[in-house]
Amino acid sequence: MQTVPTKPIQVQGLRKSYKQHQVLKGVDFEVEKGSIFALLGSNGAGKSTVVKILATLLQPDGGTAAVNGCDVAAEPDRVRQAISLTGQFAAVDELLTGRENLVMIAKLRYLKNPRRVADDMLQRFGLTDAADRKVSAYSGGMRRRLDIALSFVGNPQIIFLDEPTTGLDPEARIEVWSIVKALAEGGTTVLLTTQYLEEAEQLADRIAILHDGRIIANGTLAELKRLFPSAKTEYVEKQPTLEEIFLAIVGKKEAE
């Protein structure tokens, strides 16, 4: 009998409450290998809670979540070996140079030849010219690129990007988008949380909308567009934007 490959991320019935406030009410989704999966939702929808559970930083109250075939609650150490996490704000040491930050992480991960690892990452993320400058002198886009580079040291199979472009200007945001696309093209599985609709539209192979503790829509952009009323024909056919789809789906659920 042929074995069905395990998907990198599998979530079923995930629940989480903070005291009396139920944040996740039964979240279900799967992520394909080498794809970009966008978890889209408003502030407070529970996106970061999902990521923290998948990254073993938070215990769920119910349901199951498996990363790289390992249960996040029962096998956290094995999960951590396969993943990397970039949070909403760049977690870099501003007193060190870009190279020193990367060498430090490579040493913490017990990699051979940390300096070579650092040089490879600097080149890969377009930071070679700024390698020996203190991070305090970096632009916002450069700090975010370095932050993602730090997360990618050791080539994790799965990377979680929690609101990766928060606070960045449009030019820096496009730089980060380019990096994320390159990660997926190289075979890395990316789970991206965002409240920026254009970001999900530009990057994601699949998009799930998290609202009121549940996934209320999940599919490709083309599939989500089919949930929207037919395009109006005036002089040209106007296709709905992801923003229109999101607002229509969320508004519909709130009216029920």
pLDDT tens digits, 56-68:
999 999 999 999 9
For the residues 14-24, what does the mean pLDDT come to? 94
Range of 70's domain? 9-255
Instruction: Read off the CATH number of the domain in which 168 is found.
Output: 3.40.50.300
Distance from C-alpha of 87 to C-alpha of 48, rounded to nearest angstrom: 9
Number of domains forming the structure of the chain: 1
For the residues 100-109, what does the mean pLDDT come to? 93
Going along the chain, which residue ranges are E strands? Answer: 9-18, 21-31, 36-40, 62-67, 70-71, 83-86, 158-162, 189-194, 206-211, 214-219
Q: Is 73 a domain residue?
A: yes
Q: Is 3 a domain residue?
A: no
What does the pLDDT look like over 142-188, one tens digit per residue?
A: 888 898 889 888 888 999 998 888 777 787 788 888 888 988 998 99
β-strands 189-194, 206-211 pairing: unpaired
Q: Is 45 a domain residue?
A: yes
pLDDT at residue 2 greater than cutoff 60: no
DSSP, collapsed to helix, strand or coil, labels residue 9 as strand
Of 10, 79, 12, 14, whose CA–CA distance to 46 is shortest? Answer: 14
pLDDT at residue 233 greater than cutoff 60: no
Distance from C-alpha of 61 to C-alpha of 4, rounded to nearest angstrom: 28
Where is mean pLDDT largest: 26-40, 150-164, 230-244? 26-40
Provide the total of helices (H) and of strands (E) in the chain, helices listed first. Answer: 9, 10
pLDDT at residue 3 greater than cutoff 50: no
- The DSSP result for 220-256, as a single string, is -HHHHHTTSPPPPBSSSB-PPPHHHHHHHHHHHHHH-
Q: Which residue has the higher pLDDT, 129 or 254?
A: 129
Q: Is 1 a domain residue?
A: no
